[in-house]
Each structure stands twice: as C-alpha cells, then as structure tokens.
Structure 1
Amino acid sequence: MHGPAMSGWLLMALCAVTGGYCLLRARGTTGEERRTARAEALMGFGMAAMAVPAAFVAPPAWGWVVYTVLFGAATLRALWFSRRGGHHLHHLVGSSAMVYMSVVMARSGAAGHGGHASHAMAAAGGVPLLTGVFLAYYAAYVLRSGARLVPVTAATAGGGAVAGGIPAGGWGARPELAPACRLTMGIAMFAMLLTL
C-alpha cells in the first residue's frame, strides 16, 4: 500500500481530505445518510493511515492487527446494514478489502521493517484470485462512478449556489461532492490493491 514516498503522501492526503469531507457531510445529514457518511469517513481515514510512507513512520507489527480488528468490526456493521441494500453493499466490499490488506500486511510482519510496506506487501503476496476479484470490483466501481458523476455535476452547476459558489447549506450540502469522494476512495482503494 506504500509506493514511492511522493505517491504515498499524495494518496494519504487525498484519503484524509476525503475522510474529512465525509465527516463534514455527516454533520449536516441524519439517519441513513449520516451512517453512510460516517462509514465513508472511517474508510477515508483508515486508507490515509495505511498510505503513510513507511520510510516516514514504520507501522508496528501490532498496528496491522488493530486495522484488522477495526475494519473487521466495520465489515460486520456493513453486513448488518446490507440487508437494506443500497450503498451498504459497497461498504461491505470496502471494509472486507481493508481487512484483507491488513491481514496480508500482518502476515508480512518482519518483512516490513526497515523498508517500504509495499516491499513487505509484495513479499507477503496475498491470494491472487481474491486480489483480482477486489481489483475487478474497484475497476468497475470507478468506471461506473465516474460515468455517473458527469451528469450530476452538469445538472447541479446552475442552481443553489450563493456568492462564491458555496451552496446555502455549506460544503456538506453539495450533492456532487459525495459521489466525487466515493470515486476518489475507489481509485485510492484500487491503487492500494495494486501493490498486493
């Protein structure tokens, strides 16, 4: 999950900003939308933490166990809410992918010391078929999300904004930003899975 230092920092910043926006969006919503925004914030911040270049902060071996437990709980939560369908099925796949990457990194253990975690990830391997399934899912998700984003942006560009382009409800009320954040996290997840 950690490539060269610059790409790692960029991925970390992108995921952290996305997670921050999802928290902002959670403040301005209620019910199902709030749960979705919180789950996306957790995913964004978790991905940001996993993307920090290992040359800067080498994660301790037990850190991957913490990620596994945290995202395992998120997977169970998403499984519970997936009975309703909708975006919870995507959260189920996303948290499962995070658990998978954490387990692979935990298995690499000692290989991650003293170098980039991507080298440890490559040494640990992972299950090629499972990695391929996750990569195929995220490739399809990114393409579909990107195609859906264009009409949303075009439809909302003309109305609802006040001076400066900020809608009356604040940044959390911009309908085109939620799909853009999902697209961003899908691209980041795809990039992280590529290092397996």
Structure 2
Amino acid sequence: MHGSASSLSASLSSWLLVLLCAVSGAYCLRRVRGWGGAAAGEAVMGFGMALMAVPLGDGGAWRWPVLGAVFCAAAVHALWLLRGGAHHVHHLVGSLTMVYMAAAGGSGGGHGQAHVQGAGLPLLTGALLLYYAGYVVLGGTRLITAAGPGPAAGPGPAPVHVTSTELVRACRLAMGMGMLAMLLSM
C-alpha cells in the first residue's frame, strides 16, 4: 500500500460519506413521486453532498463552480417552497451551506483544505457547525422517541417494524450528519 495510514483513513471515511449521501439521495429520489418538491430538494442535496465528498485530490476543479450553481438553484427552489411552510427553512440553510462549502472549496483547493481568510468566514463555519450539531441531536432524539418503548422481552429477537416516517427521519439525520462531517473537515 502506498501512502500513510491517516490518508488511507481519510479516503475511506470520504468514500463512506459518499455512500451515505448517495443512498440518502436515492431514497429521497424514490419519494419524489409522493412528496413532491421537498423530497426533490432533499434528493438534490443528497446527490450533491455525495459528489462534493468524492475525494478527487487536486483534480476536479470543474466541481466547485458546478456545485455552486446547482446549490444556488436549490436555494432558489427552497425559497419557492417557503411559501408552503417554515419546514423548508432547513432546505434553504442546507443549500446555502453547500454554496458556502463549494465557494470555500473552490478558493482553497479542495474540500477539507479550504484556506479561509478573515474572521467572518470561520465564524460562519462555527455557526453552521452549531446549527447542524443541534439538528443532528434533535433529529436523533426524534428518531429514538418515535420508535417508542419496545415490546415486552420474550424468547428470541423482537421483529423490527420501520415506518416510512422513520425512514424519512433517518434519511434526514444521515444527511445532517454528513453535512456536519463536511463542515468539520473545513
């Protein structure tokens, strides 16, 4: 094997993040038919996060402007969805966060290596980290409490019944954790 153990570990974690985001995006894409615009925005977010997390090294300079444009369009879409309720504020924050990371990645040479200058941008990164940490903790708590108490203990493992609402929450939680991981690597 060539390279250090830490670079191999970073590459493996990047590919796991790609897989997590792509699977979440695929599930959201499957939901588009029944849920409409919100699920479409989540699918774009999942696939865009997967593409952003691909470890391309120094190659892929095309990626940052393209992702920036895609997420600017997603932000406009989220603004349009705000007419339907405040839930879509999170989609707007997510899209704008991805625009921010694409801009930082394009100016700094790559994801996780953004060279941010000035006090404003690290402050924004910190605020986004707090937002997504809270989102993940709250989402995890909602997912755990949604399951409710388990059945009485009996012989053998209890059957697991997962509802579509729990899958949606798990998908959102996975994408929130992915966003948190990408922000932490900036």
Q: With the length of structure 2 as denominator, give the TM-score of the two structures.
A: 0.81
Q: Which residue pairs with 1:22 in the alignment? A: 28
State the alpha-carbon separation in 2 of the partners of residues 45 and 19 from structure 1.
5
State the alpha-carbon separation in 2 of the partners of residues 87 and 58 from structure 1.
37
Give the percent of matched residue pairs that are identical in Structure 1 and Structure 2. Answer: 46
One-letter code aligned to 2:175: M
State the alpha-carbon separation in 1 of the partners of residues 20 and 83 from structure 2.
31
State the alpha-carbon separation in 2 of the partners of residues 63 and 94 from structure 1.
18
Q: 1:68 to 1:24 in 2, by over 3 A?
A: same
Q: With the length of structure 1 as denominator, give the TM-score of the two structures.
A: 0.78
Q: 1:73 to 1:156 in 2, by over 3 A?
A: farther
Determine if the alignment matches structure 1 residue 58 to structure 2 residue 72: no
Once the two structures are TM-superposed, the CA of residue 151 in structure 1 deviates from its matched residue by 2.5
Q: Which residue pairs with 1:40 in the alignment? A: 42
Q: Which residue pairs with 1:170 in the alignment? A: none
Q: Equivalent residues in 2 for 1:1-196 (5 A)?
A: 4-27=10-33, 29=34, 33-55=35-57, 58-60=59-61, 62-108=62-108, 111-112=109-110, 117-119=111-113, 121=114, 123-124=115-116, 127-154=121-148, 174-196=164-186
Deviation beyond 4 Å, 4+ runs, structure 1: 164-167
Aligned to 1:87, the other structure's residue is in SS state: helix
Once the two structures are TM-superposed, the CA of residue 53 in structure 1 deviates from its matched residue by 1.3
State the alpha-carbon separation in 2 of the partners of residues 92 and 26 from structure 1.
18
**Residue-by-residue CA offset, 1:88-133 (whole Å, 9 max, x unaligned):** 100000000000000111112xx44xxxx423x2x34681111011
- Residues 36 and 87, structure 1, Cα contact 8 Å, conserved in 2: no
Q: 1:180 to 1:68 in 2, by over 3 A?
A: same
- Residues 68 and 99, structure 2, Cα contact 8 Å, conserved in 1: yes
Q: 1:155 to 1:70 in 2, by over 3 A?
A: farther
One-letter code aligned to 1:4: A
Aligned residue pairs total 170
State the alpha-carbon separation in 2 of the partners of residues 129 and 101 from structure 1.
14
Relative CO higher for 1 or 2, CA cutoff 8 Å, sep ≥ 6? Answer: 1
State the alpha-carbon separation in 2 of the partners of residues 74 and 155 from structure 1.
38
Q: 1:107 to 1:166 in 2, by over 3 A?
A: same
Unaligned runs of 5+ in 1: 158-163, 168-172
Let me know the Cα RMSD of the aligned residues.
2.5
